[in-house]
Chain A
């Protein structure tokens, strides 16, 4: 009796059970509503770090060679929130800074 009733009800609700809802922009709306949870300290560290790097690069006369690459990487970091870009930017800066320092040290020794 109860089993019969359950089967009838399962049959009745079958269209609702099989209903698959297409996304239709739903996930985009959710993503737009997510809070920006990047900590303020992280933003501050990034800004201070970038300012320091720019000052150093400017001081070492590497502006023309490094700027286009760094710019592209920072744009990627901020537009796509891609942490890999900021790591690459730092690596690029470190390589450039090391090269510049080596030249200065070599000049001083000579």
Chain B
């Protein structure tokens, strides 16, 4: 029996443990990029994501991919966290970026600095496309946005990132 079915039908915690081990890396990496490298926060959000997945497993429809469903929960968990902050403004990005600076260096820090220039929606779309290498249909399923909206976020995000690369010596032209 598939791991997901064992969790859904039998509440098999050992099967769920196997699912957590299988998907922890992509989920944590996605949240790490959305939080601009804040490891503690992204791990808290990732834990919330898996606990929600366990408690809502009955809502999972077999026609969808489990990984997509999980990433959608991760995305919503991140947004719920943002909304819980007062005010959910760009100050948050600054806070994340500062929290990151102490631990990371070089290229990784530049990646988070570049991601910090984007709005949360742009960052979600850019992260899923350029880091997770996912197609637009997948981004639509995870974020719940329409294809046109995703494309415009990607376009604006890439423009900002291109400027960042030029200003920071990554563009040889």
Q: Which residues from chain A sit less than 8 Å from chain B, CB to CB?
A: 2, 5-6, 8-10, 12-13, 15-17, 19-23, 26-27, 29-31, 33-35, 37-38, 81, 83
B33 and A34 contact, CB distance less than 8 A: no
A16 and B28 contact, CB distance less than 8 A: no
Residues of A within 8 A of B33 (CB): 16
Contact of B55 among A6, A10, A35, A83 (CB under 8 A): A35
Closest to A34 in B: B54
Contact of A8 among B10, B20, B24, B165 (CB under 8 A): B165
Majority DSSP secondary structure for residues of A touching B: helix
- Alpha-carbon separation in the docked complex, A8 to B10 (Å): 48
Size of interface on B: residues with Cβ below 8 Å to A: 35
Contact of A5 among B25, B29, B47, B162 (CB under 8 A): B162
How many pairs, one residue from A and one from B, have CB atoms within 8 Å of each other in the complex?
Answer: 81
A31 and B17 contact, CB distance less than 8 A: yes
Q: How far is the CB of B19 from chain A (nearest CB, A)?
A: 9
Residues of A within 8 A of B171 (CB): 8
